[in-house]
Amino acid sequence: MKGCVRLKAEQSPETDITSRAEKSMSFAVTSERLFDGVFYEPEALNYPLGRYLWERYSFLPWTEIENHNNIPQMRAASNREFAHLKRHLIVGVRKTHRYTENGKVSDFLVPYTSSGCRAMCLYCYLVCNYNKCAYLRVFVNREEMMDKMVQKANAEPGRHVFEIGSNSDLVLENAVTGNLPWTVEEFARRAKGKLTFPTKFGDVEPLLNLDHRRKIIFRVSVNPEELIRKVELGTSPLSRRINAVNAMCGAGYPVGVLLAPVILTTGWEILYEQLLDTLSKTLDPAVKRGGFLEVIFMTYSFLHNAINSEAFPNTLALYRPDQMVGRGRGKYRYREGIRQKAEELLRNLIGKYLPGMPVLYIS
């Protein structure tokens, strides 16, 4: 990742929550338009971020709850109400800080400032229990989570890459909280390790002039434009994602690109060759020289299929019984022979169009 160098001059950071959130409102759609109501744990108002959100979304109805993991109104909803559920913001305090070891881009998967998402990707693994965790939950005790992460990074310098975006899209969350610039500079200033997160959104302007000290690995997730429109509902188009990773590389961040998830729909071979051709032509040379690739095949489930068939009856059918096999607990994956052939083709296409970018793993 030596190819990405800072092109913009550093600026003095503003550290208060209000300033950060205001900067994040360069997003194409302001977050005030994203929600119809807020559920909140009263304890959240004891934190500065909780009080900020209370003021910012004061025009919305706020409903008190006992536990962000158990909201009766959500649990009682039918599958066809899924899109409506996504229009609620949940504000709480994260109580689980368990790190999960990971052997891919990071050493640890870390619970951080949000879980769930406002977007509606039809394959999202958080939908495994959609009325519990698929909607956007924001956790206001960010300082506590950062302190623990810094302590661990400094205590174990040999295992120090922390994935903070496995349960949410932090670029989207940043439109609501303004957390991400604070996170980048706080970790860069205090910790010996590195952070990483992926995104499907192009709104990286608030991150470009930060003092990141190359301790933040930015990754963008891409798919063919046709699949983004049909399956990754509410996310940025491919061109904005490519612009984002180019801009972040130009700002000096280490970067990577995820082909994720690979969806073996009809004509997928043509779609993914077109995608890789587009990446070859539009990724900045520094990204192709210094970045890396990840490839992740889609998994699916009985619950996904049930929700999507009721909430989005006219969307692309992702369950393909001729291609998929059960993997337990109502989950499906591509059959081994089909997957192996697809992996071989993708490796060949990557070698053709992006020969300078190493593939870290295919899963």
pLDDT tens-digit map of 30-49: 556 789 999 999 999 999 99
Spans in the chain with pLDDT lower than 70: 1-2, 5-32, 128-133
Query: What six digits make up the tokens of 203?
Result: 């709104």
Burial (0-12, 13-18, 19+ Cβ within 10 Å), 319: middle
Q: What is the C-alpha to C-alpha distance for residues 86 and 27, in angstroms, rounded to an integer?
A: 19
- How high is the pLDDT of residue 232? 97
CB 181 within 8 A of CB 207: yes
- How high is the pLDDT of residue 258? 98
CB 162 within 8 A of CB 107: yes
Residue 280 CA, distance from chain mean position: 23
Going through 23-99 in order, the beta strands assigned E by DSSP cover 37-40, 62-64, 88-92
What is this structure's pTM?
Answer: 0.92
- How high is the pLDDT of residue 97? 87
Q: Identify the sign of the CA torsion 288, 292, 294, 295.
A: positive
Q: What is the C-alpha to C-alpha distance for residues 110 and 166, in angstroms, rounded to an integer?
A: 8
CA atoms within 13 A on the CB side of 220: 28
- How high is the pLDDT of residue 6? 63
Domain boundaries, the chain: 17-362
- How high is the pLDDT of residue 9? 36
Size of the chain, expressed as the number of residues it contains:
363
CB 294 within 8 A of CB 219: yes
Residue pLDDT, tens place only, 73-98: 888 888 898 899 899 999 999 998 89
- How high is the pLDDT of residue 70? 87
Burial (0-12, 13-18, 19+ Cβ within 10 Å), 343: middle
Distances in Å between the Cα of 341 and the Cα atoms of 227, 264, 336, 338, 347 are: 21, 11, 9, 5, 10
CB 186 within 8 A of CB 143: no
Q: Which CATH number fits domain 17-362: 3.30.450.20, 1.10.10.10, 3.30.930.10, 3.80.30.30?
A: 3.80.30.30
Residue the block writes with tokens 């990074």: 153
- How high is the pLDDT of residue 5? 65
Host H or E run for residue 121: strand 120-121
